[in-house]
Amino acid sequence: MNAASQAIGVFDSGVGGLTVLRALVTALPDESWIYLGDTARLPYGTKSATTVQRYALRAAEVLVERGIKALVVACNTASAAALPALRERFAHLPVIGVVEPGAAAAVAASRTGRIAVIATESTVAGGAYVRAIAALQPDAQVQSLACQVFVALAEEGWIEGEAVLAAAHRYLDGWFATDAAHPDVLLLGCTHFPVLAPVLSQVLGPRVSVVDASAAVAQTLCRALAERGLLAPSGHQGSAPLLLATDGVARFARVGATFLGHALAAEHVQLVDL
């Protein structure tokens, strides 16, 4: 098979990365996709960087064995902990993470340079977003907060209602005071969080831009494919994404529907063993 006609591999610790896949499919409809959710080992966000790197390398190996032409790490925690190792191991492939595109999108959206990042415990502890934003705008003022409850709410499909509002106020009210020095951008540093964006925007109001990195990831991937001559040939018909999970295909389908934005049947998800 011509390399440009091969599928693009996408992986995440679970279903959250489906928000990235959704943006990728929208931006590159002619491409074919293989998505792997490592549901047997989630959450990555509470595990050590060493463990996350080991999980990420194995997940990538499974996708590479299926003949992919590019790899998207649709997991903030894995992007923060494992991207250098993945790029070294799979140097023959474009390997795209979510941290760098997300940081660039946040910097572009901010008028004041005051940026707030919400993410998992591991991503916040590793400081990946602080470093990525500082590399683009050294004088930026970046605050980071671990919001693990948001992950649990999204996994349960609770994306609106009093429970979500209460959690949003509990996490964010202290940051976004009424004075002029509050951040003007909230960067969603976890792929579970975009489904909560309407509620977060409701809590924060128009003074704060809520930034989802997914569209920026799609643009970054498009540029990487074009640079290597790997964009799908003109007229190539992209196939429906092949969805793989390491555990709980029924739950993957049920919860994944929230992230993909359409119904998903369990028989459309294949169980794989890492």
168 and 235 co-located in one domain: no
The CA-CA-CA angle for residues 260, 263, 266, to 5°, reads 100
Mean pLDDT of 162-170: 94
122 and 152 co-located in one domain: yes
The DSSP-derived string for 91-148 is TTS-EE-SHHHHHHHHHHH-SSSEEEEEE-HHHHHHTHHHHHHHHH-TT-EEEEEE-H
Residue 180 pLDDT greater than 80, yes or no? no
Task: Verify whether residue 75 is a known catalytic residue.
Answer: yes
pLDDT at 233: 80
How far is residue 58's CA from residue 210's CA, in Å, rounded to a whole number?
33
| Cβ(171)–Cβ(116) below 8 Å | no
Q: What is the pTM of this model?
A: 0.91
pLDDT at 103: 97
What CATH number does residue 118 fall under? 3.40.50.1860
Mean pLDDT of 197-209: 94
146, 190, 208, 230: the catalytic one is 190
Q: At 251, is the secondary structure helix, strand, or coil?
A: helix
78 and 12 co-located in one domain: yes
Domain end residue (candidates: 166, 181, 213)? 213
How far is residue 169's CA from residue 200's CA, in Å, rounded to a whole number?
9
In tens, the pLDDT along 5-57 reads: 899 999 999 899 999 999 999 999 999 999 999 999 988 888 898 999 999 99
Q: Is the peptide bond before 43 cis (omega within 30 degrees of 0)?
A: yes
Domain end residue (candidates: 164, 181, 213)? 213
How far is residue 42's CA from residue 167's CA, in Å, rounded to a whole number?
22
91 and 221 co-located in one domain: yes
| Cβ(78)–Cβ(57) below 8 Å | no
* 78: enclosing H helix or E strand: helix 76-89
Total domains present in the chain: 2
Over pLDDT 90: what percentage of the chain? 75
167 and 126 co-located in one domain: yes
Residue 177 pLDDT greater than 70, yes or no? no
84 and 135 co-located in one domain: no
Residue 134: exposed, middle, or buried by beta-carbon count in 10 A (0-12, 13-18, 19+)?
A: middle
234 and 190 co-located in one domain: no
Residue 241, domain extent: 3-97+215-271
Domain end residue (candidates: 167, 185, 213)? 213
In tens, the pLDDT along 242-269 reads: 999 999 999 999 999 989 988 888 899 9
146: region left, alpha or beta (phi > 0 left; psi from -120 to 50 alpha): beta
124 and 222 co-located in one domain: no
Q: At 231, is the secondary structure helix, strand, or coil?
A: coil
| Cβ(13)–Cβ(77) below 8 Å | yes
Half-sphere exposure of 209 toward its Cβ, with a 13 Å CA cutoff? 16
158 and 250 co-located in one domain: no
In tens, the pLDDT along 44-90 reads: 888 898 999 999 999 999 999 999 999 999 998 899 999 999 999 99
20, 25, 75, 119: the catalytic one is 75
49 and 105 co-located in one domain: no
39 and 175 co-located in one domain: no
Task: Verify whether residue 147 is a known catalytic residue.
Answer: no
127 and 166 co-located in one domain: yes
| Cβ(257)–Cβ(264) below 8 Å | yes
